[in-house]
Amino acid sequence: MARAAAKNADVVVIGAGIIGLSIAYQLARRDAGRVVVLEKGAGVGEGSTGASSACIRLRYTHTEIIRLAQSGMTIYRQWPEFTGLSSPRAAFQHTGVLWMLGEDRQTVEAERDRMVDLGARALMLDAEGVRERYPALSTCGATLDLSGKHDHECTDHDSYLFEVEGGYCTDPRGANQDLLEAARRDGVDVRLRSGVEAVRSQGGRVQGVDLADRSRIDAPVVVNAAGPWCNAVNAMAGLELAWTLRPTRVQVMYRVSAGEIRGELPLVGDAAGGIYFRPDSRGPDGRGQQILVGSIRPEDEQEEVKDPDHFDRSLDPDMRQRLLHALHHRLPSLEYRARVTGIAGLYTMNEQDVHPVVGPTELEGFVVANGFSGHGFKLAPAIGSMVAQWLTGKRAEFDTDVPMEFLSLDRQSLAVREKSVLA
């Protein structure tokens, strides 16, 4: 059967997750011509974005990543202004970020100074300072035996890095929907139930895409923002990247905490128990008071999923047990009997350096924004800005100054403190 006549676009973006729609919206903000976003799902947020913990913090090994995260944080903080929506679904919830990584005083001081030099508000707290701000938190620094079989003796640790400005997005799927609304308002043609099944090229140049409904779109620029499906889309373009981008199953637990916590909670990175956690304003009753908990252990970011359309989306019982054990250690006032739920989602680990690859490929006009590992939600607004600046040469309000080359396909692997979500 012949394909329907081609419709032209200036840019086709494959995937309407937070990355694809950030790119499309940033293109529309600088009048980049006809931008078409193709999404195979019936709605947005069905990939990584909908499952995201949406933590927004700044501490990373590399200055450029901190600057991208700062740019993302600025935008999420000013979400109504950025999107131009008077009542967006998503909001930035400020909590601060407490790094309980068992680091010595010198390391924490150096990290604080490095972040302050970059314009971030960061403090060093001692155990007393932590207890004053967050009375519910234990300040133990001793590593926990996660099997729970051995006795644990809590020992106070005395130096903690505190990011004053961090927090989380209250509704990552809502943020994705907000961008859909803003992009459409500004003229982007976002088509749902429009899976791309081929990328056409000729003479080393991309020509456009073929859709599952047998229509086709011609375009001189095609952007792969297909999240955990990125390898399949790159293969459609005849590309095998030098980077290993692995769809990875990642689990998150939610524990109801109504009335059990004295005072506020920040977003916490907790090396003793190998977890991160934060308050969650959603909650089963829609009124909040639950805690979201995930792992920071590199071994919990190893489970490769061969087919991103089919994987177990539930929380494993042993993971549930480990996360609960570590959470109770850090929040001793929690009761053991509580309502606990959980999910598993996918993100695309870049095995080499847990950072994304963004930029042009050897197929002229074919651009990738892939491999965001556990950082893509906070980085998305800045990635949209980077790609849109590079494609149009135009600047707009809220732009990042980090050049796209920093994340290019032909870069060296970035040396990171730890190959994990901490990076």
Ligand X SMILES: Cc1cc2nc3c(=O)[nH]c(=O)nc-3n(C[C@H](O)[C@H](O)[C@H](O)COP(=O)(O)OP(=O)(O)OC[C@H]3O[C@@H](n4cnc5c(N)ncnc54)[C@H](O)[C@@H]3O)c2cc1C
- For residues 157 and 375, which CB has a smaller minimum distance to ligand X in the complex? 375
Q: Please tell me whether residue 124 adopts helix, strand or coil conformation.
A: strand
Q: Angle at Cα 224 formed by Cα 221 and Cα 228, nearest 5°?
A: 175
- Rounded to a whole number of angstroms, the minimum distance from the CB of residue 20 to ligand X is 5
- For residues 226 and 327, which CB has a smaller minimum distance to ligand X in the complex? 226
Rg (CA), the chain: 22
- Rounded to a whole number of angstroms, the minimum distance from the CB of residue 40 to ligand X is 4
Closest CA to 229 of 191, 199, 208: 199
- For residues 180 and 334, which CB has a smaller minimum distance to ligand X in the complex? 180
- For residues 9 and 16, which CB has a smaller minimum distance to ligand X in the complex? 16
Q: Pairing state of beta strands 221-224 and 366-370? A: parallel
Instruction: Decide: 130 and 145 in contact? Cβ < 8 Å.
Output: no
Q: Pairing state of beta strands 11-14 and 35-38? A: parallel
- Rounded to a whole number of angstroms, the minimum distance from the CB of residue 181 to ligand X is 16
- Rounded to a whole number of angstroms, the minimum distance from the CB of residue 294 to ligand X is 6
Instruction: Decide: 200 and 236 in contact? Cβ < 8 Å.
Output: no
| Residues engaged in binding ligand X (CB under 6 A) | 14-20, 38-41, 46-49, 51-55, 195-196, 225-229, 233, 250, 252, 345-347, 372, 374-378
- Rounded to a whole number of angstroms, the minimum distance from the CB of residue 135 to ligand X is 25
- For residues 29 and 40, which CB has a smaller minimum distance to ligand X in the complex? 40
Closest CA to 168 of 263, 52, 274, 250: 52
Instruction: Decide: 53 and 26 in contact? Cβ < 8 Å.
Output: no
The one-letter amino acid at 344: A
| Rounded Cα gap, residues 146 and 307, in angstroms | 30
In order, the DSSP letters of 399-420 are ---S-GGGG-TTSPPPP-SSTT
- Rounded to a whole number of angstroms, the minimum distance from the CB of residue 49 to ligand X is 3
The token pair at 50 is: 């909908």
- Rounded to a whole number of angstroms, the minimum distance from the CB of residue 129 to ligand X is 25
- For residues 54 and 387, which CB has a smaller minimum distance to ligand X in the complex? 54
The token pair at 195 is: 């899976």
| Rounded Cα gap, residues 388 and 393, in angstroms | 8
- For residues 141 and 228, which CB has a smaller minimum distance to ligand X in the complex? 228
Number of residues written out for the chain: 423
- Rounded to a whole number of angstroms, the minimum distance from the CB of residue 127 to ligand X is 26
- For residues 14 and 261, which CB has a smaller minimum distance to ligand X in the complex? 14
